[in-house]
Amino acid sequence: MKVVCRRFTLIELLVVIAIIAVLAGLLLPALAGAREHAKRTRAQTEMKMLQTAIAMYESDYGYLPMGGAERVLSSAEYTALIQTLQNVSPCGNARGKRYLDISTEQGPGFLLDPWKRDYKVFLDLDYSGDIALDADTTFGPYEKVYNRVAVFSLGKDGANSKGADGDVNSWRQ
């Protein structure tokens, strides 16, 4: 009795490879979209934690952690704010409390958004109960925010697009 071995022809093998390539091509954009969604979710979570830490600081001390005019904190002021909330040198805080306990890949005293930039923090320093964007402000909430603290990230593109193109903000969650 003769045993017949059935083998794939070259055409059949190429068809299978083509089908796998098409399926992979359909799957990769979905994975990229899921990755971007995960970054946005992480940013929203970290912004909420930052707002809560600032609120706890205000509850303990009776005032918001940074002084000055109502505007988005500069990079140096933002770093000092994070160091104060995390009770990290050189800033720290008088009571020695850690209001913000987030471990980041950058180490203590740093909190960057998922796109490796500072979060933009806007504080209601006149205690009016709202934060409004001035016409000459480069970065700031693009609408009136009825909160003590507004936090936002410029998202993937890094451009201040007034809420479009992936900006993530704390007041519309």
Specify the residue for token string 């603290």. 149
Instruction: Delimit the domains of the chain by residue range.
Output: 13-169
User: Mind listing the pLDDT tens digit for each residue in 49-63?
Assistant: 999 999 999 999 988
The larger pLDDT score, comparing residue 29 to residue 161, is at 29
User: Mind listing the pLDDT tens digit for each residue in 10-51?
Assistant: 999 999 999 999 999 999 888 888 998 999 999 999 999 999
Alpha-carbon span 159 to 136, nearest angstrom: 17
Asked: is 13-169 a CATH 3.30.700.10 domain? The reply is: yes
Alpha-carbon span 45 to 119, nearest angstrom: 12
User: Mind listing the pLDDT tens digit for each residue in 114-156?
Assistant: 999 989 888 888 888 777 655 445 555 567 777 888 888 888 8
Count of beta carbons in the 10 Å neighbourhood of residue 85:
26
Alpha-carbon span 85 to 109, nearest angstrom: 9
Tell me what pLDDT residue 136 has.
Answer: 47
Tell me what pLDDT residue 16 has.
Answer: 94
Tell me what pLDDT residue 139 has.
Answer: 53
Count of beta carbons in the 10 Å neighbourhood of residue 49:
17
142 and 161 in contact (C-beta within 8 Å)?
no
Length reported for the chain: 173
- How big is the chain by its Cα radius of gyration, in Å? 24
Cα distances (Å, whole numbers) of residue 118 to 61, 128, 132: 25, 26, 21
DSSP 8-state secondary structure symbol assigned to residue 56:
H
Q: pLDDT grade, residue 3 (50/70/90)?
A: confident
